[in-house]
Structure 1
Amino acid sequence: MQSDTIIAQPIRLILSDVDGVLTDGSLTIDNSGVESKTFHVRDGTAIKLWQKCGFTFGLLTARNSQIVKLRAAELGIEIVRQGFSEKLSVARDIFAQLRVTAAETCYVGDDLQDLPLLYEVGLPVAVCDAATEVIDSAKWITKATGGRGAVRELIERLLKAKGLWEDCLPPRSIQGMANRD
């Protein structure tokens, strides 16, 4: 079994599914047809840390949603591909655009349509409440469920394995008074 350091070292790009990974997979649609999703703030904080460290984060989802577009803009995520159930070819286009290889990519998913891309990337990750087949295909499985900090957990693990976690945190003066005497 490879160490986290060896697995994390080449990773430059994280691609993530949305529903079931950044959300709990629930779709709420009111009587007017307005859809809502719930995102965990800690996932957003970690995505910003990943980007601050010079890495790229992207979203790749089978559904189309204005909410996803808004959340991506809020987090400064430039790679957003929606409405693609066949994610592998879209991901390959992203690899070419960013000049990143599949081996330098982590993909986190939760359901069957994620399998072809999980088989392709260097670091396939499943949220712990993913479909059995997705869990079976993953190198890493989060302890957190989708929409409950799984992406935060993944990014922290990657940055710690790369030796960058402390460097990416806000300065101690901003972190608070945790080390007061």
Structure 2
Amino acid sequence: MIHPDPQKTRDFEQRARAVSLLLLDVDGVLTDGNLYFTETGDELKAFCTLDGLGIKLLRRSDIEVGIISGRNTELVARRARSLGLDLVIQGREDKWAALSEWRERNPVPLEQIAFMGDDWPDLTIMTRVGLALTVANAHPAVVERSHWQSELRGGQGAVRAACDALLKARGDYERLLADYLAPDERTA
């Protein structure tokens, strides 16, 4: 959802055009935020396939995508591998420190980084990078400090909505969509 205020829309679009890296929180962003455990203690997570394609489309548009999560699970590592993500930082509650350490080896300017989060621990990054994104069911303090908020909840296509918004702001959406259309629809 792009803000109805024209000034906020222009601000979002300007910030979005500068993005070369999208970082994502996991619980509450790539998942619904609930923690599911079996009787034997195994953890379960559900990931939205719409989000997965959105991530792949961003990568085709030369926007790298990564994950920074306070929790550490093999499920997240497996999902990241399936999406071809190399930047995966898990088990770091201080997400800003984790990003700062990564940036020492990979000097991406902060204004070229977007971060999508949903709760207070994410604000350490969101308030410092060029573009702060959030989900429909984010904590109010996060919503207040975001440049863009999805109409969808975490784990239910919110990341895809953010990917689409980034692609549209960069002018890449229609070009990528054309790859999936019948030849006669591409020129319409």
Measured against the shorter chain, the TM-score band is over 0.9
Q: Deviations for 1:79-129, whole angstroms, at most 9, x for unmatched residues?
A: 000001100011122333333111110000001111111111110111110
Asked if structure 2 preserves the Cα contact closer than 8 Å seen for 1:49 and 1:169, the reply is no
Residue 9 of structure 1 aligns to a residue whose secondary structure is: helix
Give TM-score scaled by structure 1 length: 0.92
For 1:71-86, list aligned pairs within 5 A: 71-86=79-94
Aligned residues: 179
Matched residue type, 1:24: D
For 2:113 and 2:66, how far apart are their aligned partners in 1?
11
Residue 6 (structure 1) shift? 1.2
Residue 22 (structure 1) shift? 0.4
Residue 54 (structure 1) shift? 1.5
For 1:1-181, list aligned pairs within 5 A: 1-2=7-8, 3=10, 4-169=12-177, 171=179, 174-176=180-182, 179=185
Structure 2 unaligned residues grouped into runs of 5+? 1-6
TM-align CA RMSD: 1.8
For 2:176 and 2:61, how far apart are their aligned partners in 1?
6
For 1:23 and 1:178, how far apart are their aligned partners in 2?
37
Asked if structure 1 preserves the Cα contact closer than 8 Å seen for 2:15 and 2:111, the reply is no
Asked if structure 1 preserves the Cα contact closer than 8 Å seen for 2:120 and 2:141, the reply is yes
Structure 1 unaligned residues grouped into runs of 5+? none
Pair 112,52 (structure 1): closer, same or farther in 2 beyond 3 Å = same
Q: Deviations for 1:158-180, whole angstroms, at most 9, x for unmatched residues?
A: 11110011223362xx4357839
Residue 84 of structure 1 aligns to a residue whose secondary structure is: coil
What is the aligned-residue identity percentage?
34
